[in-house]
Amino acid sequence: MPANSLTFAAIGDLHVREERTSLLRDLFAEISAKAQVLVLCGDLTDVGKPREAEVLADDLRACSIPIVGVLGNHDYESGEVEDVEKILKAAGMHLLDGHSYEVNDVAFVGVKGFIGGFGRRMLASFGESIVKSFVAESVREAMRLENAMRTVRQERAVVVLHYAPVVDTVEGEPLEIFPFLGCSRLGETIDRFKVSAVVHGHAHHGRYQGRTPGGAPVYNVAFPVEKSGDRPYALIKV
């Protein structure tokens, strides 16, 4: 571990609704005392309404450390994603939509990712045009991640996703929905680079820890997933 190691807190799947509570505000204040960066892994709102984003933005003001992250599928549900992004950016969140953000010599690099399945059972671009379009979106997200990683010059990089890049961290979910929880294309892209940690959400009933085939540690930080320390967020040191 480098002498100037950095501790970040990561959490996904907040699913913030319009009803205001103090839960997240207190949680963000607590995180600010324990970590140097807060990482949010998508599904920040419940159905992608700007009002939900405003509630989250208000709670994020209790966070006194840098905030980075990506959106998830729920944040796109209402077709108002541009408004959601604008509100969260105004609250100080750095959206890593195909970009990176550096904190203390650590690069945080992120995309939402997409679905498609894992390993030999990953969906291939074959058959009907709608299937090819589906696979093309999965490939596009992996390429956006690769292009962002190629800009990184720091020795340490953290990849931030919503969808899972490996099957390890979706285990515990029903087998029938595995293809809708992530895609190995993301893991293959990650293994082309030196990556210190990968965090994602989306799989609410998945497993906390896994690894890419190349050995990069992967953490499922969805809010309901049991993590070390009995808190809804993970504390990870790189």
Taking the domains of the chain in order of start, what are their residue ranges?
A: 7-237
Mean pLDDT of the chain: 96
Question: What integer pLDDT is reported at residue 187 of this predicted model?
Answer: 98
The 93-95 sheet, strands edge to edge: 93-95, 67-70, 37-41, 7-11, 234-237
* Cβ proximity of 192 and 142 under 8 Å: no
What distance lies between CA 50 and its chain's CA centroid?
A: 20
pLDDT at 232 over 70: yes
What letter would DSSP give residue 152?
-
Mean pLDDT, residues 172-191 taken together: 97
Q: How far apart are CA 72 and CA 48, in angstroms?
A: 9
For residue 236, what pLDDT band results from cuts at 50, 70 and 90?
very high
Mean pLDDT, residues 200-217 taken together: 98
Question: What integer pLDDT is reported at residue 108 of this predicted model?
Answer: 98
Question: What integer pLDDT is reported at residue 176 of this predicted model?
Answer: 96
* Cβ proximity of 44 and 88 under 8 Å: yes
pLDDT over 70 for what percent of the chain? Answer: 99
Question: Per the structure block, which two tokens stand in for 157?
Answer: 């990089």
Write the DSSP assignment of 54-111 as a string of letters. HHHHHHHTT--S-EEEE--GGGGTTS-HHHHHHHHHHTTEEE-SSEEEEETTEEEEE-
Question: Per the structure block, which two tokens stand in for 107?
Answer: 């690069």
pLDDT at 26 over 90: yes
**Residue keyed to tokens 């796109």:** 76
Q: How far apart are CA 80 and CA 54, in angstroms?
A: 13
Question: What integer pLDDT is reported at residue 200 of this predicted model?
Answer: 98
* Cβ proximity of 76 and 47 under 8 Å: no
Of 118, 188, 213, 193, nearest to 149 (Cα)?
193
Mean pLDDT, residues 76-92 taken together: 98
* Cβ proximity of 10 and 219 under 8 Å: yes
pLDDT over 90 for what percent of the chain? Answer: 95
For residue 2, what pLDDT band results from cuts at 50, 70 and 90?
low
25-34, 41-50, 226-235: range with lowest mean pLDDT: 226-235
Which CATH code fits 7-237? 3.60.21.10
* Cβ proximity of 166 and 211 under 8 Å: yes
Degrees, nearest 5: CA angle 172-173-177: 150
* Global confidence as pTM: 0.96
Q: How far apart are CA 7 and CA 9, in angstroms?
A: 7
Question: What integer pLDDT is reported at residue 136 of this predicted model?
Answer: 97
For residue 21, what pLDDT band results from cuts at 50, 70 and 90?
confident
pLDDT at 224 over 70: yes
For residue 22, what pLDDT band results from cuts at 50, 70 and 90?
confident
For residue 1, what pLDDT band results from cuts at 50, 70 and 90?
low
